[in-house]
Structures are given as C-alpha cells and as structure tokens.
C-alpha cells in the first residue's frame, strides 16, 4: 500500500526549466558587462564607416549621376549594409563561427526595418521640413543607428539560447539553493521518492 506520508508525486511542470529573458531584460542585464560597451564602441566605429560609405555613395549618385534621391538612398544603403555586415560579424560581435546565411538574413531584416525608418524620416525632412537632401540623409541615417544596434545585438548576432538565458538559469539556481529544492536538469530523470529532500516530504 502506498505510504502517503513519504510518497510525493513529481510532475513534469515541477521540473525547473530555463527561462528566456525578454529583449528589454537582456538589454538591461547586458548593460552591466564591460564587454558589451566595447561592442557598442566597435559598432559605432563600424557604423561611422558605414555612414561615410553611405553618404559618399549617395552624394555620388545624386550629384554625379543625377539619380533620384529615393533610389540613391537605397543604393547607398545596399553598399553600406554589405560593408557593415562583414565588419560587424567578424569584428564587432565576433560571430564568425555562426552560420553566415542565417546571420545575413537576420541582419538584412534588421537593416530593412532601419532603412524603412530612415527613408520615412528622409522624406519628412526633405519634403515637409525643407531640409537640404544631404543633411537630411545624414540626420535620417544617424537616427536609425540605435535601432540597428539593438536589432543586431539582440537578434542577428546573438550567441545562442544558453548565453541569452544564463542570467535566468543563475537566478533559478539561487532560488533553489535558498528554498532547498533540487532543480532537475532537462533531459535527466527526476529523483526517486526516497531521494526527495527532507524539506519536501
């Protein structure tokens, strides 16, 4: 007959599992690490170079080849984004070991979102505010840079789920240590009834 005083049912839901942090929490946690600030500096340098490339190509298209400024902005973006992907992958985020095609696809999505924002701001500045085309492009590109960094840091070049959830797993471990519970690693069998900590009998 089952001893109700000592037998404890262990359910799948009771097993501790890693919790993925939300993007804003990853950002706040990452701000405490000096290495991330170094990445930000490197991203800024790459972005500055990309900015110069963007403006140079844009100016060449508009003033030398007489291309419409909408098309010129897209052409400048294409050249700059290719330059930025290579430098950010191998230098800023040191993500050369990752799958390049996945990283490139994500980088492209983030860059397209930033481009859309930049183009909307460019048209607003040129057609509504009346800012000259070159300064307007400079302002639009500068305003889209924070969006670019966050998207690439948190998505395009992230180091994997283990790195992203490290803080959450550490927090779970601290909680279990305080409460006396034993977390069961994913993939391992739960403890037998006679191995359950005394505090839970």
Q: For residue 1, what pLDDT band results from cuts at 50, 70 and 90?
A: low
Q: For residue 98, what pLDDT band results from cuts at 50, 70 and 90?
A: confident
What pLDDT was estimated at residue 132?
A: 93
- Mean per-residue pLDDT, 171-181: 51
- Provide the CB-side half-sphere exposure for 178 (13 A, CA): 6
Q: For residue 167, what pLDDT band results from cuts at 50, 70 and 90?
A: very low
More confident position, 86 or 21? 86
Yes or no: say if 167 and 29 are a contact pair by the CB < 8 Å rule.
yes
Question: pTM of the full predicted structure?
Answer: 0.55
Residue 148 token pair: 């670019």
Q: How far apart are CA 42 and CA 107, in angstroms?
A: 17
Residue 168 has pLDDT above 60, yes or no: no
- CA distance readout (Å), 178 to 64, 165, 174, 201: 69, 20, 6, 17
What pLDDT was estimated at residue 125?
A: 95
More confident position, 38 or 130? 130
- SS3 track for the chain: CCCCCCCCCCCHHHCCCCCCCCHHHHHHHHCCCHHHHHHHHHHHHHHHHHHHHHHHHHHHHHHHCCCCHHHHHHHHHHHHHHHHHHHHHHHHCCCCCCCHHHHHHHHHHHHHHHHHHHHHHHHHHHHHHCCCHHHHHHHHHHHHHHHHHHHHHHHHCCCCHHHHCHHHHHHHHHHHHHHCCCCCCCCCCCCCHHHCCHHHC
């Amino acid at each position: 007959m089952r001893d109700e005083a000592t037998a404890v049912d262990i359910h799948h839901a009771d097993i501790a599992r890693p919790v993925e942090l939300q993007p804003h929490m990853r950002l706040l946690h990452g701000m405490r690490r000096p290495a991330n600030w170094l990445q930000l500096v490197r991203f800024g340098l790459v972005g500055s170079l990309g900015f110069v490339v963007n403006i140079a190509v844009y100016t060449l298209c508009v003033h030398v080849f007489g291309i419409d400024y909408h098309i010129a902005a897209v052409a400048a973006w294409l050249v700059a984004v290719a330059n930025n992907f290579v430098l950010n992958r191998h230098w800023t985020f040191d993500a050369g070991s990752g799958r390049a095609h996945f990283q490139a696809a994500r980088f492209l999505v983030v860059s397209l979102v930033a481009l859309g924002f930049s183009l909307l701001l460019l048209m607003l500045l040129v057609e509504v505010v009346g800012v000259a085309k070159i300064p307007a492009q400079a302002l639009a590109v500068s305003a889209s840079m924070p969006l670019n960094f966050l998207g690439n840091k948190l998505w395009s070049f992230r180091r994997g789920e283990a790195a992203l959830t490290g803080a959450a797993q550490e927090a779970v471990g601290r909680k279990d240590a305080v409460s006396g519970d034993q977390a069961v690693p994913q993939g391992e069998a739960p403890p037998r009834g006679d191995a359950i900590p005394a505090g839970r009998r």
